[in-house]
Amino acid sequence: MAAISPLAFLRRVRGAELALLFDLLPDISFFIKDRKGRFMALNRRGCDYCGVKHEKDAIGKTDEDFFPRSRAAEYQKDDEIVMSTGKAIVNRLESAPEAEGSPRLVMSSKIPLRDAEGKVIGVAGFSRELDQVRSRSSGEARFAKVIEQMHAHPDAALSSAAMARMCGLSQSQFDRSFRRVFGSSARQYLLRVRVEAACRRLAETEETVAALAVELGFFDHAHFTRCFRLIMGLTPAQYRQQRVPKGEKRG
């Protein structure tokens, strides 16, 4: 009997059929995108995150069609890094791809996709909610307590030293490890959490921009507005104007 080559066998398998397996894993979101960031495949959980009923409703569209501007930019940046370097992103903790201010976390991984000649033609990835990996002793999972604290109390003045203690690390170890896992410093991440919490309150409450600035730990109205514009691409007032139904006025 001739020897069997696993690679030769896998090349004969249709990728679309393998992708169907992810529909059987309800806690995992799976996607495939082409070189331009357009969705080529999406499982049921991925459809839930995008807010569509069927995969066909997302095919050909990009992250910008489904997610807030800041989230979409982050996803696209990671995709481009994976495709340009040919290196995977493995087990990165990040906010769940939902509305701004979501306290839930997912652990995500992305790999480059190559054609028969080895040219990178897209990216594939999956994510699973942190509850599924919380019990693991991985270095990434140890940050769960800190991240959850940030989302639960975005106004709290968490110092790097305090966050390091929560993780059982020295401050220098914490700073290096956090940046490696999340691609930003803990302070930058907390700032984004505060801005996303502000997004939710701007859309759901009548609190003034000035009041929100104080409540969420910003120095003042001007500081809040600068940070908000940097992350969201528009001012708090402009964001509220876009989210509040026409004819309804808020502060």
C-alpha to C-alpha distance for 31 and 10, rounded to whole angstroms: 20
The pLDDT score that the predictor gives to residue 100 is 56
Residue range 33-38: mean pLDDT, rounded: 96
| pLDDT attached to residue 129 | 77
Asked if the model's pLDDT at residue 175 lies above 80, the reply is yes
Q: Is residue 210 pLDDT above 70, yes or no?
A: yes
Asked whether residue 59 carries a pLDDT value surpassing 90, the answer given is yes
Lowest-confidence pick of 95-99, 116-120, 208-212, 240-244: 95-99
Q: Are 42 and 50 in contact (CB under 8 A)?
A: yes
pLDDT exceeds 70 at position 4: yes
What is the mean predicted confidence (pLDDT) over 191-213? 89
Is 65 a residue whose pLDDT tops 80?
A: yes
Structure tokens at 98: 């939902």
81: pLDDT strictly greater than 80: yes
* pLDDT band at residue 46 using 50, 70 and 90 as cut-offs: very high
Arithmetic mean of pLDDT, 137-166: 81
Q: Give yes or no for residue 79 having a pLDDT over 90.
A: yes
How much of the chain, in percent, has pLDDT values that exceed 70?
Answer: 87
Q: Which of 43-57, 115-129, 140-154, 186-200 has the lowest mean pLDDT?
A: 140-154
Place 178 in a pLDDT band, splitting at 50, 70 and 90.
confident
